[in-house]
A and B are shown apart, each in its own frame.
Chain A
Amino acid sequence: MTIGLQIAGISKAFDGERALEEVGLTVPVGQVTGLMGPNGSGKSVLVDIISGQLRPDRGSVRLLAEGGGQDISRLPAETIAGLGVARCWTDVRLLGMASVLDEVAVGAYTLRQASILGSMLGLGAARRDMRESLETCRQLLDLVGLGARAQSRPDGLSRAERGRIGIARALASDPGLLILDGPANGLAAADIAVLADLIQALKAAGITVLLAERNLKLIADCCDSVVVLNAGRQIAAGSPADCLANAAVQRAYFGATAAGVAAC
């Protein structure tokens, strides 16, 4: 089931240092929503709160789904993942599995049908469950362009390829909402174009995407709407074009002048 997100009045401080102040945004079902801002603006903190890695000091995070919503702001990360929210990490954070395929397969953990006893006894249903899941993971690797690397060791791949493994791993859980945190960090322009293509494919597949990113081109190419953070506060919201033309956003990114945008 595709799901959306509604965030209201989120605040978070670390040892009295404000990281987020009264942030609110809506991620409509089936759309790509951008969360942009310069370094240290609070994007990753907000993503951590949404995915249950951090708890907010104030405010609420609600999942929006057909037939009602659910407050997830106090739920642990593993429960939120079970509700269909998957995320990718800024620094990818692969898990040291023996192969790329294994790395992706662990993402399907929440969809498993096999019981512990069935797995230990090697029952047919458990073996079939694992086989089918691995086949789906191979197809996801095809989708992200790594089908030929399924049996490779993940630590031998480039930063861009590792990032796509992270996306395939998140997709393996069949998410209703996919959160991408800084997927373009450290990527060359050609790799960012591939990433943009992939995000469009996810949107076409009906998956809601929250894209936390500071790369303006990726945001402009992929997002239906954008929320801009700076120093933990929301400074703009709207279409990508409106936000990029916003004076406060330009000041946050380039200093006081709009000439910086043209230079960029």
Chain B
Amino acid sequence: MEALADLWANSATPLAVAAAIAMLAMSVRTLWAVGVPSLAGLGCGALAGYLAAHILLAGYPAPLALLAGGLAGFWFGLVLAMAAARLQPAWQGLASLGLLALVTPLARMLPEWTGGREGLAFDVGQPALWSCVALGWALVLAARLDGSWFGRAAIALRQDAAVAAGLGIQRPAILGLAYGFAGLLGGLGGVALVLTRGAVAPGMFSTSLGLLAIAAALLGGAYHWLGPWLGALLIGLPSAILFDDASAIQDLAVAAVVVAVVIFLPRGLLDPRDSSRRAARARHRQRSVVPAMAPVDDRPRRRRSSGGPQRSRLDAAIKRRSGGPT
């Protein structure tokens, strides 16, 4: 038990940093899911980070700071969506780089609110625990959203906006949802980072952090909800152990990972298509091993009587085709 406590004490901070990077990478991935290569979630993270610092300095607990940061990130994300909705995806990405570049000078220009160059420092107990709890919730929400109507609509929008419109998918609504959710995840990630460091300072939400989040999302797999988490574990954890803070060597290592992944593993380690590919291979093996098996029954099944009047007529047509009673 004591050994376990020692292990947790030694690894808690790197784990918490990795959890924060995972949530920031998830925010990047959320906007990629709708075809927008944007770092807007990190801007939301900066806002949430400073808000959380004030909440903690006022003596409120870390969970409240996480909640407030997440909500602030969500609302800021919606505001950004309204501003960016008319732009093409590539321009939204460029605008988000501008937003991230604004964070450091703005933080220095508003010392009453941000603490200026020195930033704001505070003391908080168990930051790693709360960061990991927040990551757990973020993963659950991301998985549910991915498997929902809105996750499918996001893929459709990313792949072909004209076809998506023809299917009744409203771009502003899905874009707003993506920005809001990216803001929520970015807000949680920003607060988790601030909790881990015990301070917030102007240089924390820089392009280096953006690069780290991009690398984590790319390596883990930007097409799978679990990808950013895996990427953060593989990049964020070693990065947190090897480097105390953003450094030139860290940037170099992360940039090398980004280039290598883009060239050799563009869909990342986790690819949702792999599961269907494996299933297809398994079916193929099954057919070749057992050539005499009965042919696949491709006849229409009986439909339930749900749906509108057209559905009922379609039901009747299906039954006629299958030779059943109408």
Interface residues of A (CB under 8 A from B): 1-2, 51-53, 76-78, 81-82, 86-87, 89, 93, 95-99, 102, 105-107, 109-110, 112, 114, 116, 119-122, 126, 130, 132, 135-136, 138-139, 142-143, 145, 147-148, 151-153, 156, 169, 171, 173-176, 201-202, 204-207
Contact = CB atoms under 8 A, between A and B. Distances in A.
Interface string B25-38: 00000000000000
27 contacts: A53-B162, A78-B165, A96-B159, A106-B152, A106-B167, A109-B153, A109-B156, A109-B167, A110-B168, A116-B148, A121-B144, A122-B140, A130-B148, A130-B149, A138-B301, A139-B300, A139-B301, A139-B318, A145-B298, A151-B276, A151-B279, A171-B314, A173-B167, A204-B313, A205-B313, A205-B314, A205-B316
**SS class of chain B's interface: helix, strand, loop or mixed?**
helix
A114 B149 contact: yes
B314 A98 contact: no
Contacts of B171: 78
Contacts of B307: 136, 174
A107 B167 contact: yes
B285 interface: no
A99 B205 CA distance: 38
Contacts of A202: 314, 317
A178 to B, nearest CB: 10
Among A77, A93, A201, which residue has the most Cβ atoms of chain B within 10 A? A77
Nearest to A145: B298
Nearest to B273: A98
A90 to B, nearest CB: 12
Given A78-B165, A110-B168, A207 B314 contact: yes
Contacts of B303: 136, 139
Given A130-B147, A207-B314, 19 more contacts: A1-B309, A1-B310, A78-B166, A81-B165, A86-B167, A93-B163, A95-B159, A95-B164, A98-B276, A106-B156, A110-B167, A119-B144, A142-B318, A143-B300, A148-B296, A153-B273, A201-B317, A206-B309, A206-B310
Nearest to A140: B314
Nearest to A133: B149
Interface residues of B, number: 53
Contacts, number: 160
A154 B115 CA distance: 55
Nearest to B277: A153
B160 interface: yes
B155 A143 contact: no
A142 to B, nearest CB: 4
A86 B318 CA distance: 20
Nearest to A76: B165
